[in-house]
Structure 1
Amino acid sequence: MSELYIGLMSGTSVDSIDAVLVEFEGNSPLHTRVVDAIDQPISASMREAILALCAPGPSEIDRAGQLDRQLGEAFAEAVTSLLQRTSISPAEVLAIGSHGQTVRHRPPGSIAIPFSMQLGDPNTIASLTGITTVADFRRRDMVLGGQGAPLMPAFHHAAFASGCDRAVVNIGGMANITELGADGEVRGYDTGPGNALLDYWVELHRGQRFDRDGAWAASGRVHPELFERLMADPYFATEPPKSTGRENFNPGWLESAMGGLHLSPADTQATLSEVTAASIAGAVDAFAQSGELLICGGGARNLDLIQRLQRRLPTWSIADTGKYGIAGDWLEAVGFAWFARQTLHGLPSNCPTVTGASRSTILGGIYPA
Structure 2
Amino acid sequence: MRYAERPLLVYWELTRACELACRHCRAEAVSRRHPRELSTAAGYALLEQLAGFGPPLPHLVLTGGDPLKRPDLFDLISRARSLGFSVAITPSGTYALTQRVVARLKDAGVSILALSLDGSTAARHDALRGVPGSFDWTVQAARWARSLGLPLQINSLVCAETRDDLPALLDLVGELGAQRWSLFFLVPIGRGRLLREVEPDEAERIMAWLYQVTPTVPFAIKTTEAPFYRRVVAQRRAHERRSGGTPPDLASVRQGHGVRDGNGILFISHVGDIYPAGFLPLKLGNVTTSDPVEVYRRHPLLVSLRDPDRFKGKCGRCEFRFVCGGSRARAWSATGDPLESDPLCPYQPSLPASTVQPPVPGDATLPA
TM-score (norm 2): 0.32
TM-score (norm 1): 0.31
* More relative contact order, 1 or 2 (CA 8 Å, 6+ apart): 1
Higher-helix-fraction structure: 1
